Structure 1
Amino acid sequence: MPQTPMDDKAELLRMENVSIVFSSPDEADIEAVRQVDFTLTRGKTLALVGESGCGKSVTARTILRLLDRNARIGTGRILFRAEDEAPVDIVSLKPDSPAMRAIRGNRISMIFQEPMSSLSPVHTIGDQIDEMIMIHERIDQKAARVRTVDLLEQVGIPGARQRADAYPFQLSGGLRQRAMIAMALACKPDLLIADEPTTALDVTTQAQILDLLRALQEEYGMAMLFITHDLGVVAEIADEVAVMYLGDVVEQGNVFDVFRAPQHPYTRALMRSIPRMVRRTERERLAPIEGNVPSPRNRPKGCAFTSRCPHAFAPCTGDYPERTTTGEAHWARCHLLTHDGAPAAAGLRQGTMVGESTAHGGRA
């Protein structure tokens, strides 16, 4: 992908051709994420979706330079531009450098998937949020505690002043998640990364957390990268969606366009596998995606979805597909879109709707 300057001030972060490689002393290097491209716009939400193990969390951690020691960024740039500042390439910064520390937790914050493993069990909630504020804003602990209590109240924690002195194990799962959100918002970030923040919560609490995130995003005007495998959540909270499979972003576009007219066979298969609350005269089996996800050690040379795609043909096994634009800000990586004689190519180009999606009531 050609590297272009970050001229549009609405662009907050852009990943260009980013690949992430894991090394092992006993085996060959593994390319876990390959040529990832996407753009985050100020005030908008991009959902990153896909099966477990497809590289969503690794991609998010790369933005904050929180990769494991045996991981490195193989290729690409991650351009980030805070308000009224020149773009900076995060890849060029050392993970422990002052410049990266000024971004991490301050301009870009992250809500981790499991708060119990992310929060310190031996420090109170208030102390942990106080520390975040004092590191980035250079204020004393008394002033930081006032801010902490205000944040806990803002995210809907009852008795915020008393809860600030509680340890994580003394809070319910929903309250711990709210405390994590408060910590992430402590410095009013430009970008909030939410890594499956509702996965371990019951449906009622999940809805409350989604409503809270939407309200806080509108109040702060921040962009959000929302990582999930739940397409229902995507329809509820996202403006755009990027679909990942085996470390590749195979499709990206407006939520309405992707749900209404998915262009990649993997996206279409995901849509068909969604259970639907529709009254039917006959029992209908779910349509699972046949086969298994290949090991990253044995990644197909061409399209990663080749071994499970019912429409795969010769070019799929040999050539890595290029991005093909199928609509305004909607693209997919699929040979079926570029070869006139390919199986099912016409249907994909026309964007035939795949059944009834869960996109009703979404933000698109």
Structure 2
Amino acid sequence: MSITFSSPDEADIEAVRQVDLTLTPGKTLALVGESGCGKSVTARAVLRLLDKNAEIRRGSIVFSPGDEPPTDIVKLKPDSLPLRAIRGNQISMIFQEPMSSLSPVHTIGDQIDEMVIIHEGLKPKQARERTVALLDQVGIPGARERADAYPFQLSGGLRQRAMIAMALACTPKLLIADEPTTALDVTTQAQILDLLRQLQADFGMAMLFITHDLGVVAEIADEVAVMYLGDVVEQGNVHDVFARPSHPYTQALMASIPKMARKADRVRLSPIKGTVPAPRDRPEGCAFTSRCPYAFEPCATVRPERTAVGNGHHARCHLLTRQPAEAVA
């Protein structure tokens, strides 16, 4: 799948380039990378929630829940009934900032009630009982009373739990979590991650977890896809990628993680040198070329092939196909 943004004053920009991800029921795929690399755009494309100037020009989004025939979401019209039947029902999303995603003029209960009434046809009283049960399931104390609260009356952690309850209202087959622990304290973050793991085990759903925190990835993910400037540069089992990172960008991310050490053993952090290029200045070849310490002639002009480096572990880097005699020490 490729996503292009158009502008009347400038040339079109391909913000996401040929991303190929597969999600499995009961498993979590973490999509990681620096801010602005295209993680959230990729997630919103699954639900066709892109801005008006964004277009999926190449590729498909195939959704195949259970025994039902597969559906290419790209071919569905944005306001069509088939897409509405999927959005919020079979595929749900936990947005990055619940305070701006929840309606400030409707109570938490009313917003969750609406989801259940629309997708499952329950009557208002039945929907409210479902809502209270969901709020209780996600660990909100005094669920029946909290259902009548407005978002601004809840703490950040409770708002996030309410957002999770809304996303799970119709028992989705796929849950997209867009940085659900951002701006939460460490204790609340751990509680939210434990909650998501438990709910996934209960419902057996697939989960796409978007984050820039590699510590969270190690805790919750089964597989990880590393994204840089709209391109997935490495993908595989989380243990394999963390133990044997094969792309220079993944290696740089791992090296930049702060490590606990005694005072005598302390070393300076190892940041990734340079800055992320603007999407319009991206090289034709590998997007990481301008910051890569191993870059050589083909990197800027030829896009690397997706190369297997292990069982289910792939990376896009010219170093992986370079002749042994030319290998970088």
TM-score (normalised: structure 1): 0.89
Greater shift in the superposed pair: 274-283 or 302-311: 274-283
Q: Which residue of 2 aligns with 1:29?
A: 12
Q: Which residue of 2 aligns with 1:246?
A: 229
Q: CA deviation at 1:342?
A: 7.7
Q: CA deviation at 1:84?
A: 1.1
Give CA deviations for 1:217-272 in whole Å, capped at 9, x if unaligned: 00000010000000000000000000000000000000000000001000000000
* Residue aligned with 1:153, SS: helix
Tell me the distance in 2 between the aligned counterparts of 1:187 and 1:236.
26
Give CA deviations for 1:313-364 in whole Å, capped at 9, x if unaligned: 011011111100111110000000011158655x7xxxxxxxxxxxxxxxxx
Tell me the distance in 2 between the aligned counterparts of 1:168 and 1:282.
46
Q: Which residue of 2 aligns with 1:309?
A: 292
AA of the residue aligned to 1:281: A
CA contact (8 A) 1:133 1:186 kept: yes
| 1:74 equivalenced with 2:52 (yes/no) | no
Q: Which residue of 1 aligns with 2:155?
A: 172
AA of the residue aligned to 2:79: D
AA of the residue aligned to 2:4: V
CA contact (8 A) 1:311 1:343 kept: no
* Residue aligned with 1:251, SS: strand
Q: Which residue of 1 aligns with 2:30?
A: 47
Q: How many residues align?
A: 329
* Residue aligned with 2:23, SS: strand
* Residue aligned with 1:241, SS: strand
Tell me the distance in 1 between the aligned counterparts of 2:139 and 2:247.
40
Select 1:320's aligned residue among 303, 312, 315.
303
| 1:132 equivalenced with 2:112 (yes/no) | no
AA of the residue aligned to 2:229: L
Q: Which residue of 1 aligns with 2:137?
A: 154
Tell me the distance in 2 between the aligned counterparts of 1:342 and 1:32.
36
Select 1:338's aligned residue among 321, 324, 327.
321
Q: CA deviation at 1:278?
A: 2.2
CA contact (8 A) 1:252 1:330 kept: yes
* Residue aligned with 2:140, SS: coil
Q: Output aligned runs, 1:99-118, within 5 Å.
A: 99-118=82-101
Q: CA deviation at 1:279?
A: 2.1
Q: CA deviation at 1:280?
A: 5.2
| Over 3 Å off, 4+ runs | 341-345
Tell me the distance in 2 between the aligned counterparts of 1:112 and 1:203.
19
Select 1:87's aligned residue among 49, 63, 70.
70
Give CA deviations for 1:155-190 in whole Å, capped at 9, x if unaligned: 000000000000000000000000000000000000
Select 2:247's aligned residue among 264, 269, 277.
264
* Residue aligned with 2:19, SS: strand
State the identity %: 78
* Structure 2 alignment gaps of length 5 or more: none
| 1:229 equivalenced with 2:215 (yes/no) | no
CA contact (8 A) 1:336 1:342 kept: no
Q: CA deviation at 1:282?
A: 4.2
Tell me the distance in 2 between the aligned counterparts of 1:86 and 1:39.
17
AA of the residue aligned to 2:102: L
Q: Which residue of 2 aligns with 1:200?
A: 183
TM-score (normalised: structure 2): 0.98
CA contact (8 A) 1:336 1:343 kept: no
AA of the residue aligned to 2:20: D
Tell me the distance in 2 between the aligned counterparts of 1:332 and 1:50.
14
Q: Which residue of 1 aligns with 2:165?
A: 182
AA of the residue aligned to 1:50: G
Tell me the distance in 2 between the aligned counterparts of 1:151 and 1:300.
48
* Structure 1 alignment gaps of length 5 or more: 1-17, 348-364
Greater shift in the superposed pair: 200-209 or 82-91: 82-91
| 1:275 equivalenced with 2:258 (yes/no) | yes
Give CA deviations for 1:2-29 in whole Å, capped at 9, x if unaligned: xxxxxxxxxxxxxxxx110001111110
Q: Which residue of 2 aligns with 1:15?
A: none
Give CA deviations for 1:80-117 in whole Å, capped at 9, x if unaligned: 10121011111111111111101100000000000000
| CA RMSD, Structure 1 to Structure 2 (Å) | 1.1
